[in-house]
């Protein structure tokens, strides 16, 4: 079974605020970029027999999300997460982080002994109406190949993907798991 988990701060995200400020004040998107949200995306893979233990893991531990300061949304089923517009997924070039977290969950929660966790950062831009190519604009926001172009991914440390329509379950499973 595969599932997605979206973890967001309950308070305004300071990284998203700083990135929004950089885009609108420094990178020319004032009036075009109306809002920028940031979340951690966890791509979860577990045997069907253990899947029922995922929700309690989120509700009663701080391993994936800290309920005191974060909201966690578990999205199960083959359709994944539907999207209203483009989103940007950023992960390490060496592979999505999650190895250490996977090992810790397996060690402390034997009921989830088959779980594999992969992790990336999910950026959700909201553009002004009338933007002609939101997908291309999202791509340019991610591509940090110069300090005057994008910001969200350094091409020598990160890889990014712009998704539209939906985030499918298993979206990060194509890459190996890295620490």
Partner 1 sequence: MAGMKPRVAVIQFPGVNCEWETADVLRSVGLEAVVLRWNLPPGEIAGHDAYVLPGGFSYQDRVRAGAISAREPVMETLTEAAANGVPILGICNGAQVLVEAGLVPGDADGAVKVALARNQMPGRSGYYSRWVELETTNVVCAFTRGVPAGTRIPMPMAHGEGRFTSADPDVRGGLEQGTSVPFRYADADGAARGFPANPNGAVGAAAGVVGGSGNVLALMPHPERSAWLWQVPQSHPGAWGERRRAWSADDGDMATAGPGRIPFEALARTLTEA
**CA 6 to CA 43: how far, in whole Å?**
9
Q: Is residue 92 a contact point for partner 1 (CB under 8 A)?
A: yes
Q: Is residue 122 a contact point for partner 1 (CB under 8 A)?
A: no
| E-state strands within 93-131 | 116-127
Q: Is residue 19 a contact point for partner 1 (CB under 8 A)?
A: yes
**CA 97 to CA 165: how far, in whole Å?**
24
Q: Which region among 2-10, 75-83, 86-94, 112-120 touches partner 1 (by CB under 8 A)?
A: 86-94
**CA 16 to CA 38: how far, in whole Å?**
6
Q: Is residue 14 a contact point for partner 1 (CB under 8 A)?
A: yes
Q: Which is nearer to partner 1, 26 or 73 (CB)?
A: 26
Question: Helix, strand, or coil here: 137?
Answer: helix
User: φ and ψ at 25, to 5 degrees?
Assistant: -95, -25
Binding mask 22-41 for partner 1 (x = CB under 8 A): x---xx--------------
Residue for token pair 């974060």:
70
Q: Is residue 151 a contact point for partner 1 (CB under 8 A)?
A: yes
Question: Helix, strand, or coil here: 22?
Answer: helix
Q: Which of 10, 18, 49, 71 binds partner 1 (CB under 8 A)?
A: 18
Q: Which of 157, 164, 174, 176 binds partner 1 (CB under 8 A)?
A: 157
105 within 8 A of 117, measured Cβ to Cβ: yes
Q: Is residue 105 a contact point for partner 1 (CB under 8 A)?
A: no
Binding site for partner 1 (CB under 8 A): 14-15, 18-19, 21-22, 26-27, 92-94, 100, 144-148, 151-152, 154-158, 179
């Amino acid at each position: 079974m595969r599932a997605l988990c979206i973890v967001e701060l309950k308070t305004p995200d300071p990284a998203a605020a700083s990135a929004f400020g950089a885009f609108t004040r420094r990178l020319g998107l004032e009036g075009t970029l109306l809002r920028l949200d940031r979340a951690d995306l966890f791509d979860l893979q577990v045997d069907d027999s253990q899947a029922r233990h995922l929700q309690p893991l989120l509700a009663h531990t701080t391993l994936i999300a800290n309920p005191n300061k974060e909201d966690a949304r578990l999205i199960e089923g083959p359709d994944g997460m539907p999207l209203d517009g483009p989103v940007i997924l950023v992960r390490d070039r060496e592979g999505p982080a999650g190895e250490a977290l996977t090992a810790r969950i397996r060690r402390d929660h034997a009921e989830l002994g088959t779980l594999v966790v992969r992790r990336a950062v999910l950026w959700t831009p909201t553009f002004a109406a009338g933007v002609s190519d939101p997908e291309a604009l999202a791509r340019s926001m991610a591509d940090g190949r110069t300090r005057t172009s994008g910001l969200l991914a350094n091409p020598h440390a990160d890889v990014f993907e712009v998704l539209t329509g939906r985030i499918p379950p298993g979206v990060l499973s194509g890459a190996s798991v890295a620490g």
